[in-house]
Structure 1
Amino acid sequence: MTTPSPAAQPAADPAGPAGPDGSADGVRVVSIVFHPGEELADFTRSLATATTAPVDLVLVDNGTDPEVADRLAAEAGGRVLRPGGNLGYGGGANAGARGAAQPFVVVANPDVVWEPGSLDALLDAAQRYPSAGALGPALLNEDGSVYPSARELPSLTQGVGHAVLGKVWPGNPWTRAYQRRQETAGTERVAGWLSGACLLLRREAFEAVGGFDESYFMFFEDVDLGERLALAGWANVYVPSARVVHVGGVSWKARPARMISAHHASARQYLHRRYHRWYQLPVRVAISAGLAVRERVELRAAR
């Protein structure tokens, strides 16, 4: 699929309905938490220096222990939304974004640490790219390396090559083409999709495509969103001048087996939908078989 260039798309109207103060300024920041630890304190405190715009902070608590989320939301001047159950990542993000008056909504993991001015850099880029439905920062690993967070929508050959060889041969040509690592560090560009670990979403675009697909409980909801935004004429823009550190996996490192299985289930769902035609049945069978083998290998390694 060819992703449209921002310059080739019509400008989206940045104005939204008036907020409580009579303006549509600022940004709503939504973070989905599940029994968070002190990493959430790093998120909320670093957010204070990430932008000079008014922030409406909403923590969507998918867990059952309110202490940390309530305390840190109060310290940051935010609020906690409790949906009454674990909605998953996309469902929690949709719940947190619902009813926003601001023209932009951030969806971010609670284990993200914002560099000073990083959210302002994303908001500035959104003004330069009026057709951008989603904008993503450079995601830094804890060691300072750049995670490949702006990727292409995977072709069948890229998907298979990356799935089979990505762990044992990271530099294989299919993984390189999919991740576009050589372009990740410093090039502002259009991508097929952006990591949902930290996304600035133009509310108009997000609402127009119906938000995240909640049938993905966790993983691949960001791939699906990026694809649907592009199909609707919006661009996914990578903005490396905005930088955040992503600790990664804080909420599930103690129970990796469940997350490994969830990742493979979502991958299967996404790829089956992508290759849904009757004559692609052999492709779906091969995908299911390959993912089942890969899941067993990863589960064995995680024990």
Structure 2
Amino acid sequence: MGSGHDTRVAVVVVTWNSAGVIEGLLRSVQGSRLDGSVRLIVVDNASSDSTVQVVRELMPDAEVLQAGRNAGYAAGMNAGMAAAGDCDSYLLLNPDIRLGPTTIQSMLEELRESGAGIVVPRLVDEFGALRLSLRREPTVLRAWGEALLGGRRAGRFPPLGEVETRAEAYDRRTEADWATGAAMLISRECLARVGAWDETYFLYSEETDFALRARDAGFALRYTPEAVAVHHEGESHESPALFSLLSRNRVKLFRSRHGAARTALFWSGVFLGELIRAARPTRRAAAWALLGNVRGVARPSS
């Protein structure tokens, strides 16, 4: 890490039984080259493995906050950012992220040059293949477009898909409505204006909510391909319980920004998409979860 003090970055990581992946992240943070200083804060959500021990052994200077319970991703990030004190920006990372040597510096430069409130990097898998991380604002049309066409096909047409699936869109600097929250740099001014992450989401859609609220407040989200980070695939695509939570929180997020009638149409599109693909256990579980929550579609988000 750089030894200068031009820019003070708080790197916040939320862990939960992350002993198998956290070492790679810590070593990539240690290997980062940037004009400034990094303060690493690890918020542990009551891991039952050796996550905390690994952090303390590899990076004794890291600040470890123990939540005492699995409080969720948003709560962990809020705790970490609150503990960061006087810093210029906050880099929020999943524990399975691997940073390139210049990733943080490239994100900082984009944040400074663009005047954006949020910057996200190019995410790739462990083999270097692009991960589709940019997103468009959820709409009724996009929910139905993805249901009928499939997410990858619908994403080629901006009005019809929420996920940006055009590879060429990831080759240049651009803006997006929101992006996956595996690696996200937030300016101090943006956080101060927008406020804390919504902890009622527990997991999934919390980054969507924050990015859209930031946009509402005038802070753009910028993507820069010069910053590259490796992200290992999460469990949501394999776990029926997690995928169900992801789907339900998509509706919760939409409901927080729209009225009952539009929310019902959005829910119908999401539900249809899961029903069409119910041969897969994760999608079948999501359909059942959405069906079980149908009475709450028109209620205010909580």
TM-score (norm 1): 0.81
Q: CA deviation at 1:267?
A: 0.9
- Choose which of 72, 76, 86 in structure 2 pairs with 1:92: 76
DSSP 3-state at the match of 1:144 = coil
DSSP 3-state at the match of 1:27 = strand
Change (3 A) 1:285 1:30: closer
What is the one-letter code of the residue matched to 2:265? V
Change (3 A) 1:246 1:170: farther
- What does 1:34-183 align with in structure 2 at a 5 Å threshold? 34-52=16-34, 53-65=36-48, 67-76=50-59, 77-100=61-84, 101-130=86-115, 132-166=116-150, 169=153, 173=157, 178-179=163-164, 181-183=166-168
- Choose which of 210, 222, 226 in structure 2 pairs with 1:241: 226
Q: CA deviation at 1:139?
A: 0.5
Instruction: Measure, in 2, the Cα distance between the counterparts of 1:26 and 1:219.
Output: 28
| Alignment root-mean-square deviation, CA | 2.8
What is the one-letter code of the residue matched to 2:10? R
Q: CA deviation at 1:66?
A: 5.7
Percent identity of equivalent pairs: 25
Instruction: Measure, in 2, the Cα distance between the counterparts of 1:58 and 1:196.
Output: 17
Equivalent in the alignment of 1:264: 247
DSSP 3-state at the match of 1:98 = helix
Instruction: Measure, in 1, the Cα distance between the counterparts of 2:105 and 2:267.
Output: 46
Change (3 A) 1:106 1:242: same
Change (3 A) 1:113 1:119: same
Instruction: Measure, in 1, the Cα distance between the counterparts of 2:119 and 2:215.
Output: 12
- Choose which of 165, 189, 192 in structure 2 pairs with 1:204: 189
Instruction: Measure, in 1, the Cα distance between the counterparts of 2:6 and 2:152.
Output: 49
> 1:60-103 CA deviation, whole Å, 9 max, x = no partner?
11133262223224422212111121121111111111042111
Q: CA deviation at 1:166?
A: 2.7
Q: CA deviation at 1:281?
A: 5.9
DSSP 3-state at the match of 2:199 = coil
What is the one-letter code of the residue matched to 1:64? S
DSSP 3-state at the match of 1:146 = coil
Count of aligned positions:
277
Equivalent in the alignment of 1:17: none
Equivalent in the alignment of 1:16: none
DSSP 3-state at the match of 1:60 = strand
> 1:158-214 CA deviation, whole Å, 9 max, x = no partner?
232224533685766366674152443321111111220000010221132112111
Aligned 8 A contact 2:123 2:131 in 1? yes
Instruction: Measure, in 2, the Cα distance between the counterparts of 1:36 and 1:281.
Output: 36
DSSP 3-state at the match of 1:262 = helix
DSSP 3-state at the match of 1:280 = helix
Residue 291 of structure 2 is aligned to residue 286 of structure 1: no
Change (3 A) 1:287 1:87: farther
Instruction: Measure, in 1, the Cα distance between the counterparts of 2:155 and 2:270.
Output: 25
Consecutive unaligned residues of structure 2, counting only runs of 5 or more, are 286-302
Instruction: Measure, in 2, the Cα distance between the counterparts of 1:255 and 1:178.
Output: 19
Instruction: Measure, in 2, the Cα distance between the counterparts of 1:120 and 1:40.
Output: 21
Q: CA deviation at 1:144?
A: 1.3
What is the one-letter code of the residue matched to 2:227? A
Instruction: Measure, in 1, the Cα distance between the counterparts of 2:127 and 2:184.
Output: 21
Q: CA deviation at 1:239?
A: 1.0
Aligned 8 A contact 1:134 1:200 in 2? yes
Consecutive unaligned residues of structure 1, counting only runs of 5 or more, are 1-22
What is the one-letter code of the residue matched to 1:217? F
- What does 1:209-228 align with in structure 2 at a 5 Å threshold? 209-228=194-213
Instruction: Measure, in 2, the Cα distance between the counterparts of 1:162 and 1:275.
Output: 19
Q: CA deviation at 1:235?
A: 0.7
